[in-house]
Chains A and B, each alone.
Chain A
Amino acid sequence: MASADSDGGAEAGIPTAVKILVAGGFGAGKTTMVGSVSEITPLNTEEVMTEASMGVDDLGGVEDKTTTTVALDFGRITIGKRVVLYLFGTPGQGRFWFMWDELADGALGSVVLADTRRLETCFPAVDFFERRNIPFVVAVNRFDGECPYTEQEVREAIDIGAEVPVIMADARDRGSGKCVLVALVEHVMRRRSPAMSP
């Protein structure tokens, strides 16, 4: 991968990038939440879905094979001169797992948006992060202003550990998005050093 021990002198001016994912089912409010906390209008990028995800380097002459792209949207928060935070909404569950792996690589953690109208649509995301031991918080997006479940009911339905924060949220609201992100980063830090309290 990287050149071994370059001293980073020339690279000193390049910020460190960190990544937080915003996951959940279709329509749960991922793009909305990314947009409400991002300093830029969410950007759209795409990744190629080909044999390359299976380790083939050279695809010369492959034009007739099935190649498609998966769209991702992301936002940015400049933390300072030295750190930039990117927020990536995850693509559809199921057909795009390869993309989830790439997204999750090196991610600080994830927000799992639970849509109270269809709670089960967040289950695959929870499974994914739990399995890979990636820290996450559950943000319950209350579409109609009112959550039909108590936090405890949400916890039991999703079957998550007591240490996983569950936050009632509004994906459209910047302040709410901030609270969710703060809860996630604190959760990540707690997992690193169990002594720290929130």
Chain B
Amino acid sequence: MKHSRDQQPAAGSEGARIRRDPRARDTVATQGLRRRQERPPADGAASGGSNGSVPPDSDTGPLVRPYTMTGGRTRSSGTGLDMISIVMAAREGADWDSLKPEQAAILRLCRRPISVAEISAQLDVPMTVVRVLLGDLIAEGDVIARDPMPAADLPEMNVLQAVLDGIRRL
């Protein structure tokens, strides 16, 4: 539904590199079907690559409002929040009157620990914008976040074990 068409551009531009039809079993058994090479990651090509403008797609939509919410900022400097960063209201006495409506809405959701992605989904505001607004709330002392795990750090073994046990209990 949301993701309609996402395979089409790839099939058009890259499909030719797939040498064999994977349905042809006799060629699968020999080493005929090989994984094709990855397209170069979109460093710098994300918005300016081969097809300068991104084709319209149901995955994508025009963006207008978020900039007015954040005063044009799309990155919160220094908060290090990522999409699964979990935040929580820091105290009772927030100065609600001074908050923008979007910030107030975020702060209300933060009564319980909640992730950036969930705030974004519940308020229907892009994650980028949520991060900026959260950055302001954190700076004000209204919200606290866990220190983000450096991306290079993987979850510790005891966390992995907890995840494994948790999934088994499902």
A45 to B151, CA, bound (A): 21
* Given A59-B72, A86-B117, A77 and B166 contact (CB-CB distance below 8 Å): yes
Pick from B92-100, B101-109, B155-163 the stretch touching chain A: B155-163
Interface majority SS on A: helix, strand, loop or mixed? Answer: mixed
- Whether B126 lies near A31 (C-beta < 8 A) is no
Residues of A within 8 A of B170 (CB): 37, 77, 174, 178
Residues of B within 8 A of A98 (CB): 42, 46
The total of chain B residues at the interface (CB under 8 A) is 95
Residues of B within 8 A of A95 (CB): 6, 9, 42, 54-55, 57
A98 to B59, CA, bound (A): 14
Give the Cβ gap from A6 to chain B, nearest Cβ, in Å: 6
Residues of A within 8 A of B165 (CB): 79
* Given A1-B148, A68-B61, A156-B29, A31 and B3 contact (CB-CB distance below 8 Å): yes
- Whether A96 lies near B59 (C-beta < 8 A) is yes
Residues of B within 8 A of A128 (CB): 38, 41
Residues of B within 8 A of A151 (CB): none
- Whether A80 lies near B166 (C-beta < 8 A) is yes
Binary contact readout A89-103 vs B (1 if CB under 8 angstroms, 0 otherwise): 101111111101111
* Given A86-B84, A182-B167, A159 and B46 contact (CB-CB distance below 8 Å): no
A13 to B86, CA, bound (A): 10
- Whether B22 lies near A63 (C-beta < 8 A) is no
B: residues with CB less than 8 A from A are 2-10, 13-15, 18, 22-23, 25, 28-29, 31, 33-39, 41-42, 44-47, 53-55, 57-64, 66-67, 71-75, 77-78, 80, 82-88, 90, 113, 115, 117-118, 120-122, 126-129, 144-151, 153-155, 157, 159-168, 170
A: residues with CB less than 8 A from B are 1-3, 6, 8, 10-11, 13-19, 25-27, 30-31, 37, 43-54, 56-63, 66-74, 76-80, 82-86, 88-89, 91-98, 100-103, 105-106, 108, 118-121, 123-124, 126-128, 131, 148-149, 153, 156-159, 174, 178, 181-182, 185-186, 188-189, 192-193
Given contacts A14-B88, A156-B31, 6 further A-B contacts (CB under 8 A): A45-B120, A47-B83, A50-B63, A62-B72, A84-B115, A108-B160
Show 11 A/B contacts (Cβ-Cβ < 8 Å), sorted by A. Answer: A14-B145, A27-B7, A31-B2, A57-B74, A57-B75, A68-B54, A68-B62, A108-B160, A124-B14, A156-B28, A192-B154
In the A-B complex, list the 7 residue pairs whose CB atoms are closest, starting with the nearest. A92-B6, A60-B72, A79-B166, A127-B38, A26-B7, A43-B121, A1-B80
